[in-house]
Structure 1
């Protein structure tokens, strides 16, 4: 795991599958996503290296319910006491009270998914632990305690309750798996339950005025982010 500073308040904890983002708050810090199961020790080590104690983690925001995003949430809650926030429609999947919807893979996505799952098996990733959701988030909600306005956007398609976070003053966007990057381009994230809705959500995020896009897969967009998003062609990805 590599720690990469993206902005004065945001660090990317770069994992082989599913990056975690740490945000420095006025009175502690927050995490956006948690990595695959077994990632908690590395995340806690990163907190220590950045000068934070576990109990300083105030919030763990899950952009959606997939195991590379919520995988270490239960262990991190146990270590930090943080509250878990997730999209309202994904909350049952995070809690484990409803089955995870099955994605509709294209042929290209099917091959990639097999590769990813084989890699996780080879790495002996432990079983997923579900976790209670303290706050269910809906479109238009705002987050408290971040030192600037944070707007929640419901961006369905990847999962039914996928969310994005838009820090409107600093122009930082956490898009969840709706957006990935490859070779400096913004692309549609793969493995969507509803490809049409995922593309519509991508287009909604691309219309925002943003300076930085912190993607969970790929490198962050830190220059001309809005222009990169608006020239993307998600309709052509993974076909």
Structure 2
């Protein structure tokens, strides 16, 4: 993947929000990444996703501010390998020398073996969708630094959390869930902004939507993944794009998305729109 800065931003870029005492959401340009761990436990935290290309310096600044100088995570966990979620992963691994975990089905896209399908600029929804063919779809190559998550659903160094396979957006997409307080890190299984619209990406107008249309290739799997997450009845959710959501706003929004998935999430036309029902 061509690790070049991409001039895309939003009004919340550079902002961090403490969703729970040990779950911190930071917006890097147009995408969210999460720090899981209490600030006082300076080397007992996990980074979930790594933002846009050329963002390692900004992420390191947030780490120093929240966890202190020279702090580093126990590991990096990736919800999936799209460019906006792995942009800094190579640089951060070189600096920190920590393991990276992802779903087994995502490993070809993280070890240089396979490129993702090309983004579909033909879907309706706005300017971001139209320019999506310019987005990189080539894989990063983490070599032996990345390994498959445990098959039992546990996540190394994240006690109390489990990973859930939520494919559709990518084959090995995962979400992370903590049963104790029903906290959800959803990745791009669903998002809380209309990611196809440049105006809404910039303003971060809040609304629950399905996964970004221009990069989702299996809509039947994507629908089943949303149903799976809604059934967990999350109390709070951090998604890959948009604001964190909680309470009734989250539960009602997810119910509507499940009940009206075809209307809300699926493009009327597009290269990957091939529904089985």
TM-score (ref. length: structure 1): 0.86
CA-atom RMSD, angstroms?
A: 2.5
Aligned-pair CA distance for 1:111: 4.4
Once the two structures are superposed, the pairs formed by residues 40-119 of structure 1 within 5 Å of their partners are 40-103=56-119, 107-108=123-124, 111-115=127-131
Cα distance change of structure 1 residues 128 and 162 upon mapping to structure 2, 3 Å threshold: closer
Which of 17, 20, 25 is the matching residue for 1:7? 20
- 1:50-94, CA deviations, whole angstroms, 9 ceiling, x for partnerless residues? 133445311111101100001110111112122100111111101
* 2:160 alignment counterpart: 149
1:105–1:192 contact (8 Å) kept in structure 2: no
In structure 1, stretches of 5+ residues that fail to align are 122-126
2:115–2:139 contact (8 Å) kept in structure 1: no
* 2:176 alignment counterpart: 165
2:114–2:139 contact (8 Å) kept in structure 1: no
Structure 2 Cα separation of the partners of residues 100 and 228 of structure 1? 29
More displaced stretch, 108-117 vs 195-204: 108-117
* 1:38 alignment counterpart: 54
1:37–1:128 contact (8 Å) kept in structure 2: no
Which of 205, 229, 239 is the matching residue for 2:254? 229
2:183–2:235 contact (8 Å) kept in structure 1: yes
* 2:240 alignment counterpart: 216
Larger radius of gyration: 2
1:44–1:54 contact (8 Å) kept in structure 2: no
Which of 134, 138, 150 is the matching residue for 2:146? 134
* 1:187 alignment counterpart: 209
More strand by share: 1
**Structure 1 residue 197 and structure 2 residue 197: aligned?**
no
2:45–2:74 contact (8 Å) kept in structure 1: yes
User: How many correspondences in the alignment?
Assistant: 232
Cα distance change of structure 1 residues 193 and 138 upon mapping to structure 2, 3 Å threshold: farther
More displaced stretch, 19-28 vs 152-161: 19-28
Structure 2 Cα separation of the partners of residues 230 and 138 of structure 1? 30
* 1:124 alignment counterpart: none
Structure 2 Cα separation of the partners of residues 97 and 163 of structure 1? 20
Cα distance change of structure 1 residues 201 and 114 upon mapping to structure 2, 3 Å threshold: same
2:122–2:129 contact (8 Å) kept in structure 1: no
Aligned-pair CA distance for 1:228: 2.6
